[in-house]
């Protein structure tokens, strides 16, 4: 699969504008994602399975009489992590391993252009994720959208950039095998400390205090607040998320290596 990808892939034209190069690269990223069945499984199916599984248990706190009201924002956060950090990070690491990125490195496409194209492709993929999760939540559990959709979308966009940058930073600096192990390990850690399935209040106090400064908990809390009718703006969660977005994106751009 990776060898075929390398042979079939074309580099951006030298005559193309930077915007055109990024658009072309984004199209390639979407095409390659669709060709990888395991990526579709992680990105689309796993979040739906987690939503159905935990909504069927009695261990999740109910909000307004329904467990799905608590679960849904957290599952959206997990979907963002799966798409950006796990899916994109691992796929990019193996592209680097098989020499695909080395070929791109000889083209006019800069590192920042490649990273932007990959993040845009993940944002587009997440539209499908959101539609699928919303459909399942409404059809199976009667979930009703609440809160401020624009703020929720802003939180998801920031989370996407953050976790995509984490995945790309690992893919650009570590061996493919280490990226595979690291991305999955971080994903499991963020499931436990993200507050989407197990509330942070159920954790030991020192661990909960640390978790609030992690991007997973910040994204989950931002989505929980913006998808409820409590009228509270999650300023702290957004601040933590913005800081992570800026720092990790800069690290990814500066440390990303083509080979």
17-44 burial, b if ≥16 CB within 10 A, otherwise e? eeeebbebbbebbbebbeebeebeebbb
Strands (E), 12-154: none
* C-alpha span between 132 and 151 (Å, rounded): 20
* C-alpha span between 63 and 39 (Å, rounded): 32
SS3 (DSSP) at 63? strand
| Tokens found for residue 73 | 């924002």
Query: Which pLDDT value is given to residue 255?
Result: 80
Closest CA to 157 of 249, 233, 48, 38: 249
Query: Which pLDDT value is given to residue 136?
Result: 92
Query: Which pLDDT value is given to residue 61?
Result: 72
Residues 6 or more apart in contact with residue 45 via CB below 8 angstroms: none
* C-alpha span between 256 and 138 (Å, rounded): 41
* C-alpha span between 182 and 159 (Å, rounded): 19
* C-alpha span between 45 and 194 (Å, rounded): 20
SS3 (DSSP) at 175? coil
Q: At CA 113, angle to CA 110 and CA 117, rounded to 5?
A: 145
Query: Which pLDDT value is given to residue 6?
Result: 39
Residues 6 or more apart in contact with residue 147 via CB below 8 angstroms: 225, 226, 227, 228, 229
Query: Which pLDDT value is given to residue 222?
Result: 94
Q: Give the residues of the chain that fall short of pLDDT 70.
A: 1-16, 64-65, 105-106, 231, 258-259
Mean pLDDT rounded to a whole number for the chain: 83
Closest CA to 191 of 165, 157, 167, 219: 219
pLDDT tens digit sequence for 124-175 = 888 888 999 999 999 988 888 888 889 999 999 999 989 988 998 898 888 8
| Tokens found for residue 145 | 């959208």
Q: Are 183 and 90 in contact (CB under 8 A)?
A: yes
Query: Which pLDDT value is given to residue 231?
Result: 66
């Amino acid at each position: 699969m990776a060898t075929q990808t390398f042979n079939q892939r074309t580099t951006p034209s030298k005559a193309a504008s930077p915007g055109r190069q990024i658009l072309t690269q984004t199209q390639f990223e979407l095409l390659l994602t669709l060709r990888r069945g395991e990526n579709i499984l992680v990105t689309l199916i796993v979040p739906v399975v987690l939503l159905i599984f935990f909504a069927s248990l009695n261990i999740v706190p109910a909000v307004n009489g329904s467990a799905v009201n608590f679960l849904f924002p957290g599952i959206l956060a997990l979907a963002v992590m799966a798409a950006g950090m796990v899916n994109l990070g691992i796929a990019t690491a193996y592209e680097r391993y098989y020499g695909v990125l080395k070929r791109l490195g000889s083209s006019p496409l800069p590192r920042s252009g490649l990273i932007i194209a990959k993040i845009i492709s993940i944002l587009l993929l997440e539209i499908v994720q959101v539609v699928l999760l919303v459909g399942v939540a409404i059809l199976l559990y009667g979930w009703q959208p609440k809160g401020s959709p624009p703020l929720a979308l802003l939180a998801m966009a920031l989370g996407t950039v953050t976790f995509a940058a984490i995945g790309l930073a690992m893919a650009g600096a570590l061996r493919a095998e280490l990226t595979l192990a690291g991305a999955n390990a971080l994903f499991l850690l963020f499931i436990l400390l993200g507050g989407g399935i197990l509330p942070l209040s159920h954790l030991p106090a020192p661990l909960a205090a640390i978790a609030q400064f992690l991007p997973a908990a910040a994204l989950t809390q931002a989505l929980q607040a913006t998808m409820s009718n409590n009228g509270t703006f999650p300023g702290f969660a957004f601040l933590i998320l913005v800081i992570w977005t800026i720092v990790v994106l800069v690290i990814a751009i500066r440390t990303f290596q083509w080979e």
